[in-house]
Structure 1
Amino acid sequence: MQKADYLLIISPSHAVKSVAIYYKNWLASYIGSFTARFSEPHLSIASFIMDVCKEKILVPTLRRAAAEEKPFSLSTHGFGSFFNSRTVFMQIEEIKEFAQLSRNLHEKSTISFLPSTCKSLFYVPHLTIGRRLEHKYEYACRLFQYQTISQTFTASAVILLKRDEQGLFQSIQEFPFLSRPSQLSLF
């Protein structure tokens, strides 16, 4: 069976994307090119590998799960970093709300049935500026140490992406948050 890489994301507002792109370019002016320099700013919720034929089962479960969620505000608040992946990013304040959304979408969709070796769930929301900075990481952290940022946007949907043959992620479908009451399972 043919497998594919999938990514479930929240896309921030145009204004927040513009700020993230500004900081990606600003960082590049100091350290040169780096991983994630040209990637579209987004908040990753889950990444997974799945048989392509199971996509038609996944899509309706994600649609239902997302429809039960309410739109909510997310706010950027300064910059942070992950040492292990040598990543600098824009921090998002609403960690608990984001983590709950991630859990809900995982538990209420067929993602929960995938083997743990085939999926990664994300509970710390962030907008990546630079990733795998290696020997430039400490310098990048110092550059962002005194930078401040404060932007707010509404998360009103999640988007399912699939990696194409060229290695780029393409949008499969957007799933809006509709604040519908959750349906109880009888079994």
Structure 2
Amino acid sequence: MLYGLAVFPSSEIQEFADRYRKRYDTHYSIIKPHLTLREKELISEEQLEKGISYLTEAARKLEPFILHFNRFSTFYPANNVIYMALADPEPMQKAYEVLCSGVLQEQAKPYAFTPHLTIAQELGDDELHDVLSSVRKQPVDFRCTVNHVVLLRQTENGIWQSVQEFPLGGSGE
């Protein structure tokens, strides 16, 4: 099965992002607004057991942290994606380094980890520029606390479902 690891922001941030996603994000109906920590990957049951054990311990090493979304940005010209960007990506970068190492080390990624919340993807060049010029006029100032990460599984119909939450710093135990 395909699995991934993500952080879900507060419902207020998700509602804001969904105003754009329902029109411009082809993945709107299969997953809630999120920040990907680990891209989807085909994982066996044995790998899953090892991964869950690793995530349980690794998440305890991280303290809850704050995300502050402060603007819209894009990966253009590398990719026609518009996203909500973080004022300080360092807490997510640290989470990535801790959680995506050891048995969950990603091999041969074609790009650097850039924490973000996608609001538009798979746009043509003209549409990307039109949407980007419009959203950049909108003020963005949202904060939320991240106190857990979520292991997700993609179902046969393409929808992503939560498998397990991993509290940070041992919170929630």
Give TM class, smaller chain: 0.7 to 0.9
Q: Does 1:148 align with 2:148?
A: no
Q: Secondary structure at the match of 2:169?
A: coil
Change in 2 beyond 3 A, CA 1:76/1:122: same
Q: Secondary structure at the match of 1:60?
A: helix
Residue pair 1:80, 1:88 contacting (<8 A) in 2 also = yes
Partner of 2:16: 19
Q: CA deviation at 1:49?
A: 2.5
Q: Does 1:8 align with 2:5?
A: yes
Change in 2 beyond 3 A, CA 1:125/1:69: same
% identical equivalent positions:
24
Q: CA deviation at 1:52?
A: 3.1
Q: 2:36 aligns with which of 18, 27, 44?
A: 44
Q: Does 1:68 align with 2:65?
A: no
- Whole-Å Cα distance in 2 between the matches of residues 44 and 52 of structure 1? 22
Q: CA deviation at 1:34?
A: 4.5
Q: CA deviation at 1:121?
A: 8.1
Change in 2 beyond 3 A, CA 1:34/1:98: closer
- Whole-Å Cα distance in 1 between the matches of residues 57 and 163 of structure 2? 16
Q: CA deviation at 1:120?
A: 7.6
Q: Give the paired residue count.
A: 167
- Whole-Å Cα distance in 2 between the matches of residues 110 and 5 of structure 1? 16
Partner of 2:120: 130
After superposition, the CA RMSD in angstroms is 2.1
Q: Secondary structure at the match of 2:132?
A: helix
Residue pair 2:71, 2:84 contacting (<8 A) in 1 also = yes
Larger radius of gyration: 1
Q: CA deviation at 1:96?
A: 1.8
Partner of 2:71: 78
- Whole-Å Cα distance in 1 between the matches of residues 111 and 45 of structure 2? 19
Q: 1:95 aligns with which of 84, 89, 92?
A: 89
Q: CA deviation at 1:123?
A: 2.6
- Whole-Å Cα distance in 2 between the matches of residues 145 and 152 of structure 1? 18
Partner of 1:171: 162
Change in 2 beyond 3 A, CA 1:37/1:172: closer
Change in 2 beyond 3 A, CA 1:122/1:9: farther
- TM-score normalised per structure 1: 0.81
Change in 2 beyond 3 A, CA 1:110/1:68: same
Q: Does 1:110 align with 2:103?
A: yes
